[in-house]
Chain A
Amino acid sequence: MKYLKGVANTMSHDEFQKHDAKILTPSFIVLLVLTLIGFVLVAVRFIKGIGAVTNMSDGYPWGIWITYDVATGTAIACGGYAMAILIYIRNHMHYHPMIRSAILTSMFGYGLAGFSVMVDVGRPWNAYNFFIPSKWQANSAMFEVALCVMAYTTVLALEFLPAILTTLEKTEWKTLQYILDRIYARMGKERPERIGDRLDRVKEVAAWIKPRLDKVLIFIIVLGITLPTMHQSSLGSLLLIASTKLHPLWHTGFLPLLFLINCMFIGYSIAILESIISCYAFKRPFETKELSGMASIIPWLTIIWLTVVVGDLAWRGQIGAALSFDFYSGFFLLEFCLVAGGSLLMFSGKKRESIRWLFVSAVLIVLGGALYRFNVYLIGFNPGKGWHYFPALAELLITVGIVAFEILGYQVIVKILPVLPKLHTRQQIDEDHGVTEKA
């Protein structure tokens, strides 16, 4: 176990810092209101049935919740997956300071995708059957997705645990002490000693767990790379069965491979966007150098993806359908051009150095990649004559509420836990390389 010592050393915790700012901002209030509206509607769904808040039907049994929150949302939450590949497999340790915020967003993305599924399924109380071997059904891509997503959410939580442990270890419990003092003062009693002892015990336990977790963390991290590889491809496999319903532009045996590559380039693009947006929102210097390095990977992934798409269409003789400019062809071409356009921009080394162009190209690729998933799950899905689907307002508001909760949680957690890259080291590196980016 000698080599593990080295492993633990490199996972330094002082690369991260809390973002010191007020928690109660105007955006906090707006997001909170949206979240609350969403959750009230979730309550309505559980009281009155799914039909009361959605436009889903027997023809379109999967609506925006599955298409966006699960199929697309988990791809958007692949920032942590993409960053982990980059850092631990491609061996670019200098991206390590960016991992925690990527893992945090992934954790929210996957956790809330799981929550959405529980809202979406009709009989969630039977979900325990996933853990009963006699009920296992390995032929089902859904079974694989469900187990993998549950496992991955746990893995993400473990990967994020060091941030919590570090905080616990160093905390003075000031807020808690203050609140306790107030409570006991109100009750007119002396605060018992044992509470302080117990708080100290928590700190001790955190300090005990942390080095041990650090030692095995790399194996958990690698699990966190394996699981998304499995379930992101299986998200594509889900629609393999719908050979009569999914339009031939999208129904292919390559669905699992296309979904896997798709989640990777979405993952890198979203990691770029998250970094740009959070630096902009929290008024921190942009991480231009890291971002442009990351952006240089994306075009290679999209080229593979686009080649498989075109090659597969040609092989199945569907090129004509792709260029027929009807409803389906329109959405196909839009998805194709968004991904291709964004990649073309990222091919240029000069454009990659500019935050503005990085932002634009990453947005194009995320939109294109997400549209691909919408095309497969919803737009290209036709159950037969007479069926139509467009999400109901309440259905959309539940999705909006979940996304709002995601952003809200991120905003709050980066302010109470060390998640963002430490500023002075970042500035140090920037000064060393004479990078002064202001956009």
Chain B
Amino acid sequence: MGKPSRRDFLKLIGTGGAALLAGVSGAGASEERQVDNQTVGMLYDATRCVGCKACMSACKRVNSDYGSLSYEKAKFDSDGLWDAPQDLSGSTRTLIKLFKESDANWSYVKYSCMHCQKPSCVSVCPVSAMTRDKATGIVDYNKDACIGCRYCQIACAFNIPKFQWDKAIPQIVKCDMCKNTNLIKKGITACAETCPVGAITYGKRKDLLAEANRRIKEHPGRYVDHIYGANEVGGANHLYLAAMQFDKLGLPILKTEAPAEFSEKIQHTIYKGFVAPVALYATLCFIAVKNMKGHGKEQKGTDEISEGGSEHDEP
């Protein structure tokens, strides 16, 4: 191999690699992002929940048409009398589960979208089908934009977005805080409106946090001293209080940094102002045209090169 050409090659690796390396090192520095406590959310208190699942049925009743939800039959129930979802699914946006460690030690838990302050699903959606409303903080899904790539499912640390695997015209299903249904009509989410024991509170994040802190203070020993969602993945608008460790309830232990901030920093550094790709293209054009020009001059260039190559290649 000729020396100059190897240099050119290393130059290429350098140009591409430098951008990528810059991305990695840039990931260390942090941009300031403010948590907006004026946005709305919900507080779920597992110690108040009685597991009646009225929230589940209200959610499905209110959102079934708009959200393309259907009832899920249980195996034993051939008549389909009950809606019996096993987990969040393409037909179920919210779900109550029971975690039972022993007869004395158990807890209900509600699953639904966490409405993150810096949502991974919004960060990764290539066509802006997932959006976060600045004013309300609601993370919403638009099926008319969605291409169904399911990147949001890969990205969500809580495994919340669900896909309709059994439909020819599928969509992503997740809680949108009744943004297009109950919230417009009644100003409150269907689950919070229905809950008979006040386990679900709808309100501004600021008020919910204050309320959660008040409950922890007033009932020491009743709660684990942690508001789940307050700081996880950069803060969420769905908050939890419980008497048991949250990871036992199926809520993963997460860092306070939003995964989307890590990935976006790298992506932004590489593609900042689209400079690196343009520079790469320009450099490569320069090298390639120079090379081609050289060959144009020496018409018999190929012979020389093949001889030159053979010197190197012979053992």
Interface residues of A (CB under 8 A from B): 3, 5-7, 9-10, 46-52, 54, 56-59, 61-62, 85, 88-94, 96, 117, 120-124, 126-127, 129-130, 134-144, 146, 218-219, 221-223, 225-226, 229-230, 233-234, 237-245, 253-254, 256-257, 260-261, 289, 292-293, 296-297, 304, 349-350, 353, 383-384, 429, 433
- A141→B124 contact, CB < 8 A: yes
Within B281-296, the residues touching A (CB, 8 Å) are 281, 284-285, 287-289, 291-296
- B301→A93 contact, CB < 8 A: yes
Contact digits for B241-285, partner A, Cβ 8 Å, 1 yes 0 no:
000000000001011000110111011101100000100110011
**Shortest distance in angstroms between B63's beta carbon and chain A's nearest beta carbon?**
18
Q: Does B151 contact A (CB under 8 A)?
A: yes
Q: Does B213 contact A (CB under 8 A)?
A: no
For A218, the chain B residues whose CB sits under 8 A away are 285, 288-289, 292
- A129→B305 contact, CB < 8 A: no
> Smallest CB-CB separation from B10: which chain A residue?
A300
- A7→B163 contact, CB < 8 A: no
Would you list the 6 A-B pairs with minimal beta carbon distance, nearest first?
A6-B296, A122-B148, A51-B165, A61-B150, A143-B126, A240-B263
| Majority-rule SS of A interface residues | helix
For A240, the chain B residues whose CB sits under 8 A away are 259, 262-263, 266-267
> Smallest CB-CB separation from B123: which chain A residue?
A139
For A59, the chain B residues whose CB sits under 8 A away are 159
**Shortest distance in angstroms between B185's beta carbon and chain A's nearest beta carbon?**
28
Report the Cα distance A429→B309, complex, angstroms. Answer: 12
For A256, the chain B residues whose CB sits under 8 A away are 20, 23, 266, 270
For A257, the chain B residues whose CB sits under 8 A away are 17, 20-21, 24
Q: Does B297 contact A (CB under 8 A)?
A: yes
For A90, the chain B residues whose CB sits under 8 A away are 1, 5-6, 8-9
> Smallest CB-CB separation from B143: which chain A residue?
A123
Within B114-142, the residues touching A (CB, 8 Å) are 120, 123-129
Q: Does B180 contact A (CB under 8 A)?
A: no
Q: Does B164 contact A (CB under 8 A)?
A: yes
Q: Does B153 contact A (CB under 8 A)?
A: yes
- B259→A242 contact, CB < 8 A: yes
B contacts with A, residue count (CB < 8 A): 89
- A289→B313 contact, CB < 8 A: yes
Q: Does B89 contact A (CB under 8 A)?
A: yes
* Given A139-B267, A240-B262, A241-B124: A92 and B309 interface contact (C-beta under 8 Å): yes
Report the Cα distance A247→B129, complex, angstroms. Answer: 28
Report the Cα distance A208→B310, complex, angstroms. Answer: 38
- B281→A223 contact, CB < 8 A: yes
- B124→A10 contact, CB < 8 A: no
**Shortest distance in angstroms between B32's beta carbon and chain A's nearest beta carbon?**
17
- B295→A61 contact, CB < 8 A: no
> Smallest CB-CB separation from A117: which chain B residue?
B149
- A221→B288 contact, CB < 8 A: yes
Q: Does B299 contact A (CB under 8 A)?
A: yes
Q: What are 25 A-B interface contacts by the 8 Å CB criterion?
A: A54-B165, A58-B162, A61-B154, A61-B163, A88-B291, A89-B291, A90-B5, A92-B1, A122-B163, A129-B128, A129-B147, A134-B128, A138-B271, A139-B260, A141-B267, A221-B288, A225-B284, A237-B263, A237-B267, A238-B151, A256-B20, A293-B1, A293-B312, A296-B1, A297-B1
- A137→B126 contact, CB < 8 A: yes
- B127→A143 contact, CB < 8 A: yes
- B146→A126 contact, CB < 8 A: yes
Contact digits for B8-43, partner A, Cβ 8 Å, 1 yes 0 no:
110011001100110110010000000000000000
Report the Cα distance A141→B153, complex, angstroms. Answer: 15
Q: Does B221 contact A (CB under 8 A)?
A: no
Contact of B166 among A52, A233, A243 (CB under 8 A): A52
- B126→A292 contact, CB < 8 A: no
Q: Does B302 contact A (CB under 8 A)?
A: yes
Report the Cα distance A168→B120, complex, angstroms. Answer: 51
Report the Cα distance A61→B163, complex, angstroms. Answer: 8
* Given A7-B289, A226-B277: A137 and B263 interface contact (C-beta under 8 Å): no
**Shortest distance in angstroms between B134's beta carbon and chain A's nearest beta carbon?**
16
> Smallest CB-CB separation from B150: which chain A residue?
A61
Q: Does B78 contact A (CB under 8 A)?
A: no
- A123→B262 contact, CB < 8 A: no
Contact of A9 among B4, B171, B264, B296 (CB under 8 A): B296
Contact of A433 among B155, B260, B310 (CB under 8 A): B310
For A51, the chain B residues whose CB sits under 8 A away are 165-166
Report the Cα distance A149→B270, complex, angstroms. Answer: 18
Q: Does B167 contact A (CB under 8 A)?
A: yes
Q: Does B315 contact A (CB under 8 A)?
A: yes
- B285→A222 contact, CB < 8 A: yes
> Smallest CB-CB separation from A353: which chain B residue?
B315
* Given A48-B168, A51-B165, A241-B259: A121 and B16 interface contact (C-beta under 8 Å): no
Report the Cα distance A143→B129, complex, angstroms. Answer: 12
Within B91-114, the residues touching A (CB, 8 Å) are none
**Shortest distance in angstroms between B262's beta carbon and chain A's nearest beta carbon?**
6
Report the Cα distance A233→B15, complex, angstroms. Answer: 13
Q: Does B81 contact A (CB under 8 A)?
A: no
For B126, the chain A residues whose CB sits under 8 A away are 130, 137, 140, 142-143, 146
